[in-house]
Structure 1
Amino acid sequence: MIDPRADVHPSAEIDSSVTIGPFSVIGANVKIGADTWVGPHVVINGPTEIGRENRIFQFSSIGEEPQDTSYRGEPTRLIIGDRNVIRESVTLHRGTEKGLGETVIGHDNLIMAYVHIAHDCTIGNGIIFSNATSLAGHVEIQDHATLGGFTLVHQFCRVGTYAFTSMGAALNRDLPPYCLASGNYARLIGINKVGLKRNGFSNDAIQALHRVFIQGMRGRAGRESHLDAMFEETEVPEVRNLIGFVRGSRRGILRGGRPH
């Protein structure tokens, strides 16, 4: 299952069911789980752990040193879960010692061509990264978010679950769960109603989220007091999740209103 033209380091732990294409290079301290397919011309350096049933396409660079001037060769890690699709020319970097020490990517993610995920990022499950999306270091992307093509995310920002960005959005603050963002710099423009309906959210939950957005998210004045009152009054779990995300933001929340 390993093409004879591939270069696999003797210390790499490769499951017997793994396929590795021609001219791929697998470095030391790399572990690849069962039924993973690695195409041609892929470079994987360690320490890197890759789970089961992943598909990694040509010219991807996986587990390379972080692009951080503080990095001095420490043995930081990249951890990738199961059933991810990693398309052409994707770059996924290990963590840094001053950060988490590892970059973590969950399960069932679609990472399209030319995506960059930098050091110390934490990526959840079921996320779509459209072409050429770029994440700076220390970014958190929660489950089932969708990032449009050429989305840029500033370091230390968070993107909440089921959030959505339009093409070319540039996020310099946190994007709350279930919300839409667009523009450069991005602004909040509403609730991700289409995405929520497609994923089986009830109409009641969607309407409750919409009310929170209209009453507590669009403006800046009085935002905290409005949201605190809504959190105490509601029993809708999605609303409590959204408000809890906003209350826990360290970098600040994207401003509301349509982008200029």
Structure 2
Amino acid sequence: MAEIHPTAAVAAGAVIGEGCRIGPGCVVGPDVVLGAGVELLSHVVVDGHTRLGDGVRVFPFATIGMAPQDLKYKDEPTRCEIGARTLIREHVTVHRASVGGSGVTSVGANCMLMATSHVAHDCVVSDGVILANNVMLGGHVHVDTGAFIGGGAAVHQTVRVGRLAMISGMAGVTNDIPPFGFVFGVPARLVGFNRIGLIRRGATRDQLRTLRAANNLLFKEPGEFAARLLEAEQRFAGEPLVMEVIAFVRDRTRRRQLVRPGRMAAPELGGSDEENGEGA
């Protein structure tokens, strides 16, 4: 029920789903599970205790489930999981987990990992995330649903990226990014929120105005941050987008500090922040 090229090497024990296509030069390890309709175009390596969901497509020279780049790792049976319909382009690397985390590296459904992007051990990449070319995620990074990370950006170990956040190309991210945040630069600074991403997902004008006001209060106005946070909770109670940002900020399980606010000159995007839909 699957199409396997004669030059592909599929180990005994691998589970190959209905309608899979495994192209020339591919290598599939003995503990791999491929869901229905998975396509490995050519010269793809899938190894370790790795599961690819239904409809995943993997382009040439990508490697999935290889051992983590962690000197403490001694070939323990950690895992790697890729969600349904995710697209993995050329030379992408997704490593299985180390022994210092949850035991699984996961990429959600309907993601796109562009050419040469890297997902390190123990990362959790949620549904609908896009990693542009050459993005580098360090170990234990969490990227929430719908986030976009621009080309060449580097995200430090244990950083958390909130839902629908946007990271500009070539950014150096060392601190946590709240939901809907837009960051830019090295080191990355919070310069606004992902207005376009919110509009594409049905946010109303009133919601955007409210989020803008809350964003200004939290990250632009003077005074003690804790006091501003409390004021935002009281002023915007019942506003779900603002409450999501506040919940992220208050989450004590985060291991890094919150990204600092900053400014970005208009010429960097070829227009004003407002024209590009990404200003605060």
TM-score by length of 1: 0.97
Is residue 157–residue 174 contact of structure 1 (8 Å, CA) maintained in 2?
Answer: yes
Q: Of 4, 12, 15, which residue of structure 2 is paired with 1:13?
A: 15
- Cα distance in structure 1, aligned partners of 2:111 and 2:63: 17
Q: Is the 8 A contact 1:218 1:255 kept in 2?
A: no
Cα deviation, residue 250, structure 1: 3.2
- Residue 196 of structure 2 aligns to a residue whose secondary structure is helix
List alignment gaps of at least 5 residues for structure 1. none
Q: Does 1:255 find its partner at 2:260?
A: yes
Q: In the alignment, which residue of structure 1 is the partner of 2:268? A: none
Q: Stretches of 4+ moved more than 3 A in 1? A: 218-221
Aligned AA (1:2): I
- The answer (yes or no) to whether the contact 2:50–2:79 under 8 Å persists in 1 is yes
Equivalent AA in structure 2 for residue 23 of structure 1: G
Q: Partners in 2 of 1:49 and 1:184 — Cα distance?
A: 35
3-state SS of 2:4 partner = coil
- Number of the residue aligned with 1:90: 92
Aligned match for 2:113, one of 111, 114, 117 = 111
Give 1:229 deviation, angstroms.
2.4
Q: Which one of 215, 237, 241 corresponds to residue 240 of structure 2?
A: 237
Assess if the C-alpha contact under 8 Å between 2:148 and 2:166 holds in 1. yes
User: Deviation of residue 221 (structure 1)?
Assistant: 4.5
The C-alpha deviation readout for 1:185-219, integer Å capped at 9, x for no partner, is 00000111122112211111111111111111236
Q: Secondary structure at the match of 1:53?
A: coil
Spell out the pairing of 1:178-217 with structure 2 (5 A cutoff): 178-217=180-219
The aligned amino acid for 1:63 is: G
Within the alignment, does 1:52 sit opposite 2:54 as a pair? yes
Q: How has the CA–CA distance of structure 1 residues 212 and 250 changed in structure 2, closer, same or farther, with 3 Å as cutoff? A: farther
1-structure distance, mates of 2:25, 2:220: 52
Query: Secondary structure in 2 aligned to 1:232?
Result: helix
TM-score where L is the length of structure 2? 0.90
- State the alpha-carbon separation in 1 of the partners of residues 122 and 220 from structure 2: 31
User: How far did residue 16 of structure 1 move?
Assistant: 2.9
Distance 2:26 2:33 in 1: 15
Q: Is the 8 A contact 1:139 1:156 kept in 2?
A: yes
Letter in 2 for 1:94: R
Q: Which moved more, 1:53-62 or 1:201-210?
A: 201-210
Question: Residue 220 and residue 77 in structure 1: after superposition, are their counterparts in 2 closer, same or farther (change >3 A)?
Answer: farther
Question: Would you say the 8 A contact 1:219–1:255 is kept in 2?
Answer: no
Alignment partner for residue 165 of structure 1, among 159, 162, 167? 167
Contact kept in structure 1, 2:217 and 2:232, CA below 8 Å: no
Cα distance in 1 for residues equivalent to 2:38 and 2:130 = 19
The residue type equivalent to 1:103 in the other structure is T
Matching residue's letter, 1:253: L
| Aligned equivalent of 2:71 | 69
Amino acid of the structure 2 residue aligned with 1:247: R
Cα gap change, 1:143/1:220 in structure 2, threshold over 3 Å: closer, same or farther? farther
Aligned-partner residue type, residue 7 of structure 1: A
Say if 1:112 and 1:129, in contact at 8 Å, map to a contact too: yes
Tell me the residue number matched to 1:99: 101
2:276 aligned residue: none
Q: Does 1:151 align with 2:153?
A: yes
Q: Which moved more, 1:239-248 or 1:250-259?
A: 250-259
The alpha-carbon distance between structure 1 residues 238 and 16, as it changes in their structure 2 partners (threshold 3 A), is same
* Pick aligned residue for 1:224 from 218, 223, 226: 226
Find the aligned partners of 2:220 and 2:51 in 1 and give their Cα distance. 42
Q: Which residue identity is paired with 2:261?
A: G
Identity %: 38
When the two structures are aligned, how many residues end up with a matched partner?
A: 260
Q: Distance in 2 between matches of 1:154 and 1:140?
A: 11
